[in-house]
Amino acid sequence: MDFGSYDYEERKQQVEEILDNTDKVEVKKEFPKEDEFTYTNGYKAWATAIFIDIRNSTELFSVDNEEEEIEASKVVRGFTSEIIEILRQNTENQLEEIGVRGDCVYAIYSTPTTDDIYEVWNRGVYINTYMKMYNKLLTSRELPNIKAGIGMASAQTVAVKAGRKSSGINGIVWIGKAVSIASKLSDLANNGSYDPLLISPTFHYNLKKPYIQKQSEEKFNDFFEKKYEPNIGEFYQASVIKTDFDEWIDKNL
């Protein structure tokens, strides 16, 4: 089916308008709400990304029959549904994006304070504990178990509105290291060599103060171990769970 003609002469002018009229990036303490973004402005502030990636997803999705297709669908839906629920808790007053990319669930948050970064960490620990509950539920239904790698990173980030003006197809694009590093860390996490929770050095540095205030310095020093990968650099690993949640799982499942 012919999709019609693309008027490249007219569209050239539109592209030039975009390139010439993106005129400023404003540095802010925190990102404003999405309705303040236009197609000519941008904002720079602190953002934190968390990516949760299924390990060995190729094997899970390599199905041979309808029964296996249904099983894989159940597993993926249960994985994404509750992780999104955890990621969206208490985000009403901040700019955030939560989405799904293939076998990965991700979130990007405006994090102007170290307490905000602690809350992202808190969500990561809840997700790590949820995976234990989820696999018990999968086992009880004779469905395949899965593992997840969780990567988190913070950085000063530029956010711009992108898409096709007047088409209704648009969104916020995040430009900076937070997203790329969190994604890379989630690829490494829980792969047999590293713990389920991997965080960037900047995330680790900004997590320390609120973590010590809410937990203890001893726990902070004990839980995190520095690691290194040539294509990423330094990062920290941890394997931490929510104790009360974990105890509930053991008693009720």
CB 165 within 8 A of CB 96: no
Contacts with 200 (C-beta within 8 Å, 6 or more apart), sequence order: 152, 153, 154, 155, 177, 178, 181, 182, 185, 235, 236
What are the residue ranges spanned by the domains of the chain? Answer: 22-252
Contacts with 97 (C-beta within 8 Å, 6 or more apart), sequence order: 107, 108, 171, 172, 174
Write the single-letter amino acid at 11. R
pLDDT of amino acid 35: 87
Contacts with 172 (C-beta within 8 Å, 6 or more apart), sequence order: 34, 37, 95, 97, 159, 160, 161, 162
DSSP string, 182-248: HHHHHHHTTSSSS-SEEE-HHHHHHHHHHHHHHS-HHHHHHH-EEEEETTTEEEEEE----HHHHHH
CA of residue 70 relative to chain centroid, distance: 26
Q: Does this model's pTM top 0.75?
A: yes
What sign has the CA pseudo-torsion 156, 172, 96, 185? Answer: negative
CA distance 54 to 227: 21
CB 237 within 8 A of CB 190: no
Q: Kindly report, residue by residue over 65-81, the tens digit of the pLDDT.
A: 888 888 888 999 999 99
Q: Given a cut of 60, is residue 246 above it in pLDDT?
A: yes
Q: Given a cut of 80, is residue 63 above it in pLDDT?
A: no
pLDDT-based confidence at 3, cuts 50/70/90? low
Q: Given a cut of 60, is residue 1 above it in pLDDT?
A: no
Q: Express as a percent the part of the chain with pLDDT over 90.
A: 69
Nearest to 133 by CA among 63, 64, 83, 196: 83
Q: Given a cut of 70, is residue 4 above it in pLDDT?
A: no
Q: Kindly report, residue by residue over 16-42, the tens digit of the pLDDT.
A: 888 888 778 999 999 998 889 988 889
CATH number of 22-252: 3.30.70.1230
pLDDT-based confidence at 2, cuts 50/70/90? low
SS3 call for 64: coil
DSSP 152: E
What integer best gives the mean pLDDT of the chain? Answer: 92
Instruction: Compare 214 and 166 and report the one with higher pLDDT.
Output: 214
Tell me the HSE value of 142 on the side-chain side, using a 13 A CA sphere.
2
